[in-house]
Amino acid sequence: MKRLAILASGSGSNAENIIRYFENHESIKVTSIVTNRKEAKVLERAKKLNVPAEYFPKKAFLEEEIVLDHLLKNADYVILAGFLLKIPQNIVDAYPDKIINIHPALLPKFGGKGMYGMNVHTAVKEQGETETGITIHFVNENYDEGAIIFQAKTAVSASDSPEDIANNIHQLEYAHFPKVIEEALL
């Protein structure tokens, strides 16, 4: 059984989608949710779905081994689903090509520090892009520069607001992220 830890900082809608996808899977199981925000809604979702969840403050990620120890005990792979901290080098080193992230744009466009969530969708709109999408990629020591596993595109019309773009991106995330994780692990 391949064990997944999902790292999330926000509402956890992608985390829930992944948990539900693998609920009855014969060889992949979500065994842990980890967050860096005490008030993150993902903690409520994890409780509702009976998945163990842990909160670790930013300092624990950046200056201590406690998060790495937790992950090594509970997970073979790490999935980032709206996680807003850069993954520390000790975790990257412990999980080479075993940390998978989803980014709400077609990398290398609109990637890097500060490019997440509505920041990305607003930038896509402001740049007048005619398409955007999602990128699922392995994580390395740099923001959004790991090897690309999968991309999916969606059109952007001139009348789309950043919120419209976000809704279209969420649909791509829900449709593709769990399946791409499964394919990458099997």
> Which residues are known to be catalytic?
103
| SS3 label, residue 36 | coil
Q: What angle do CA 133, 81, 71 make, to 5 degrees?
A: 145
Q: Which two tokens stand for residue 178?
A: 């769990």
Provide the angle, in degrees to the nearest 10, between the axes of the packed helices 117-126 and 162-185.
Answer: 120
How would you classify residue 170: left for phi > 0, otherwise alpha for psi between -120 and 50, otherwise beta? Answer: alpha
N-terminal to C-terminal alpha carbon distance within the chain: 11
Question: Using CA atoms, how far apart are residues 180 and 173, in angstroms rounded to an integer?
Answer: 10
Q: What are phi and psi of 142, to 5 degrees?
A: -115, 145
